[in-house]
Structures are given as structure tokens and as C-alpha cells.
Structure 1
């Protein structure tokens, strides 16, 4: 006994709907002779007629009525399947939860989410902003699938994967005397009120590294926990700072001047996730987009026009 293939079912249904070989060919965008040959081949294989021709119209043969009824059910199920696939492709009725450190969330997250929204227009996105000590509970309790951090999380249940290396840069208020320099040394920064992050904090420790390597110990006039706070303090003329370039990766930042450090100083962005957890395709795409945006920011570098000396 011969079984119907999916192609045969498609052609048989097209003839049933169109009522003619030519009409079925038009529906399927193929040649009429090909449709005619396939119908004959199918009937020969099954051993009975599928259609009768009445007044030039193909109608189901009496012995094939049950087959056509089942064929319609199959196609309705296929339509439901395609609708479900389309729903997943758009992110409909799905939620993506992930988190970011404030430094990466400031500008990079919005750019990545723009791409995620374009790919999955109906996906609900839940973005959390976390301190590094909040990351462990967030991932282990599966409140979200991934966290983007500027430091790795040291825990056997957590996996930290490097994404991109970026630079630590100097930021100055507009009109500052160091803005006349093409590059700024950590020695230069130490001559002015210095704004930083507690070096006992992993992010603060990374920002302090180029000073330690130069034999300097930063003395903070003001400490801020997050990059946005440091940027705001510098903008208001309260001091100078060293910060990761991802935190200031915007084309125009009024009130702020960005300069490369004379010393080589790098910072690594990580994606952190629960070890062994299978990520959704939405989360995997999100990681790819963050990697792309971080790479773009690191390769482009946002430097402000030099001030005339």
C-alpha cells in the first residue's frame, strides 16, 4: 500500500480547492502538466480515483471523500503549527529576562535591545540593573538567563565568559586644562580632585589598576558606586575620573570631555550565566548582539574634539 507524501497531499488539496488542474498549478506556481502527472501517479499508487471530472471541474470521487476530510484536518493542523512557529519567531507570548551592570546598561544595552526588538518585535524584554553582589541570586534563582558585567563572578555554579576587551579612559569636565592634551596620564589625573569607585569593589579595583601599575595610590575626593554617578559628578565640574569606555560610548555627551589614557589600561566585559542552564534562542541572540555592540564601541572609540592650546 502506497502512502501519500507531503507534496502529494499539497497537490491533491490544491486541485480540490481550485477545481481544475490549471487552477491548482496557479495556486502552487508550477506547470499544469506537472500537476496532472502527479495526480495520475498518486491515483495509480493508491489504486483508486481521487477525482471525477464533471463539466470540466474536478470534484472528489465518492471513494475519496474520507481522505479529503482528513486532508483538511491535516492542513488545519499545519496552519496552526505555522502560526505557532511565526509566534515564536516574533517572540509573541514569550518574555526574555536578563540583567546588566550599570556601566554596560548606560548605552550598550539600548543599542543591543534595538536589534533584539527588530528581530523579535513581540518579545517582552525585562532588563534589570544589578550590582555584582546581586548577580549570584539573580542567576541561581533563575530570575533571568544572563547578566552582562564588567567583572567575572567567582562561583562554581556560575560561568563567566569574556565578550570584549575595552579601554579605561579619562573623563574631564568641559573647559578643564587637561582637555588640551591628546592623551591624559594617570599622573595628570592625580593632580586634580579625583572621583572614583571604592577599590574593594571589583569594578573599582579594575579602574584603579592603571594607577597601581604606575606606582600610584588614588585618593578619592568623591566616591560614586556607579559609572553614571561618576559621569554626572565630572560633568558638574566636581573632579576628574578614569572610567570604562562603554560607560561613555555615546556620540555626544555635553559637559564631558573624553581622552585616551597615556598608559595602556583595559577592562573586559563578561556575560555571566548559571552553569549548565540551557539558554533560550532569545538569550543566545541577545548575547550575540551585546558582543557586537561592545565590539563596535571598543573599535570605534568616542573621543571629543581636541581643545585648541
Structure 2
């Protein structure tokens, strides 16, 4: 078996056919077919089943591909690390941001990283589902994660960057609320709420906030993106609670911190044996401005468990 065979198998799984995989890899179709047959022969299993819609990984194929992806990413990181000494760092760096954390700080840090390593490709995604984020972390897919709260330090080491305070977003018709320096959570009990997907980290925070304050307001809508929740609240559909960094420019005047305060630490989760790209990005993130509220958080902060 070889890493090339792993890459070919992953390409076939993604494309759904040998022809499409060959085109994406810029190689001849017979070469891909031969490598897949050779890999299946070495493993003694069938990795793909032929269906009317194309090639689909078998059950054992899906299990194999999960580990193959980890091996390919590890090889790419090793290759990038080896080239870093000559300032030729390339490859891919995968960053995951939980709950939209670092929305204001990440662009500046990534710009600095790109100036340092112009050939490095960075993939950033926001993962609302903590279970999915944990699955990606355990598979070794995530190189650096921005998360709320502590992480168990076996796969990743946590570096505290600052504290994220949550704010309520309300439409202009709530002038009586927005006139306050802080909005009491109990003042929002009769308001309809814009909430988030049931399995999202944000809704987990909101559930605990409502429970701890003895509130059970009506839910008028559920959304998957903080930007959508902010826009809908600004248009008067209901109120919502989001991290300060998730507030869109131009909507700040419609936000207020709440009382009791809701805040969570923002932590950069990095592998203990981080390469030069992760190390550089962590340093650039530290140079950004992060709020420090002085509050502490528990419960909903434990969202990425890598132990």
C-alpha cells in the first residue's frame, strides 16, 4: 500500500467515479483503476460498490477511508514541515471555529499567516455541531480550533486567548431595552426568541442560560447561522443571544450585554506537536485584540472534548 493509493481511493470516494477522480487528480483513468484494484487486492476487501449513481464506499471501505484521510493529511503536514526550514511551507492548514468565535480576529491573523507563508492553503469552516467537531478532531482533520471553554490535553493543548461575552440582539422597537446599559434576562421572558439548531453549541449555551435563569420563552424560529439570527432580530422577528464577535457591522447599536452576564473563554486548541503553520497562526492570533471580561464559565464551555 502507498499514500498515492490512499489519495486515489479518497478521490474516487469524493467524486463517485473513477473517471471524475482521474480528472481531479490529472492522471489517466486506467492508472486510477489499476491502483484501486491493487489496493483492494492487498487489503483483501472490496472498498467500493458499483451503483446506478456511481461508485459508493462499502462499509469496510468507509472505515478504511477514515484512516486513509488521517494518513494523507499527516503526510502533507510532514512534507510541509520539512519544507518550512527553507521558507517554502505549503500544503493545507485546516482551522475550525466553533460558534463563530474569532470572527473579528481570525481575518487579521490569517492575513499575517499568508504573508509569512504565501504558498500555504488554509481551509476555515464554522462547525456548529460540537459532536461533529469532536469527530473531526479525533480523526486528525483539524489543525487548529477556536473553541469555547477548556479542552482535555491529550490530542490538543488549549491556549486561552480571551473571553467572549454574549449580547442580546433586539429590533429598534425595543428602545426601552436598548436604553439600558445591560438588559436583564428576565426582561426578555415574554419576548419571542430566535434560537439555533437543536444540536448546535450555540443552542446548548442558550438552553443553559434559560434554564439557569428559570426562563421558558417562546421560540419563533431556529436558524443555523449567527448572521441570520442577528439580521432577523434586527428586523423585529424576535430577540436572540450571540457572541459579541458574531455581531455584524452596522448592527452594534441593536445589541446590549445581559445581566447576569453570559461569557465563555475563547481557547485555541493546537496539537502538542504543532508544526510551523499552526505555531505561527497561534502567535498571530495572540497578537489580535481579545476581550478579557474577568468572568469565568463552566458547563457550556466544555464543547470540544478531545480526551
In structure 1, distance between residues paired with 2:274 and 2:238: 43
1:12-48 Cα deviation digits (max 9, x unpaired): xxxxxxxxxxxxxxxxxxxxxxxxxxxxxxxxxxxxx
Partner in structure 1 of residue 267 of structure 2: 270
What value does the CA root-mean-square deviation take over the aligned residues? 3.5
Partner in structure 2 of residue 163 of structure 1: 161
Partner in structure 1 of residue 70 of structure 2: none
Partner in structure 1 of residue 22 of structure 2: none
Greater mean deviation of Cα atoms: 159-168 or 281-290: 159-168
Partner in structure 1 of residue 139 of structure 2: 141
237 and 162 in structure 1: CA distance in 2 versus 1, 3 angstrom threshold: same
Quick check: 1:283 aligned with 2:281?
no
Question: How many residue pairs align between the two structures?
Answer: 212
Q: Which has the higher contact order (CA 8 A, sep 6+)?
A: 2
Partner in structure 2 of residue 54 of structure 1: none
Partner in structure 2 of residue 240 of structure 1: 239
In structure 2, distance between residues paired with 1:295 and 1:105: 9
In structure 1, distance between residues paired with 2:149 and 2:132: 13
Aligned 8 A contact 1:90 1:121 in 2: no
Could you tell me the TM-score, scaled by structure 1's length? 0.57
1:226-264 Cα deviation digits (max 9, x unpaired): 32232232133211111111212xx83248611121322
For structure 1, which runs of at least 5 residues remain unmatched after alignment?
Answer: 1-83, 300-309
Partner in structure 1 of residue 16 of structure 2: none
Q: What does residue range 1-309 of structure 1 map to in structure 2 within 5 Å?
A: 88=85, 92-104=89-101, 106-130=103-127, 131-152=129-150, 157=155, 159-177=157-175, 178-197=177-196, 201-248=200-247, 252-254=249-251, 257-273=254-270, 277-293=272-288, 295-296=290-291
Larger radius of gyration: 1
Aligned 8 A contact 1:189 1:241 in 2: no
In structure 1, distance between residues paired with 2:152 and 2:217: 26
For structure 2, which runs of at least 5 residues remain unmatched after alignment?
Answer: 1-80, 295-307
Aligned 8 A contact 2:189 2:216 in 1: no
In structure 2, distance between residues paired with 1:128 and 1:228: 15
Q: Return the offset for 1:280.
A: 1.0
In structure 2, distance between residues paired with 1:97 and 1:297: 26
Aligned 8 A contact 1:90 1:122 in 2: no
270 and 199 in structure 1: CA distance in 2 versus 1, 3 angstrom threshold: farther
Aligned 8 A contact 2:191 2:217 in 1: no
1:70-113 Cα deviation digits (max 9, x unpaired): xxxxxxxxxxxxxx999757554343222212512543322321
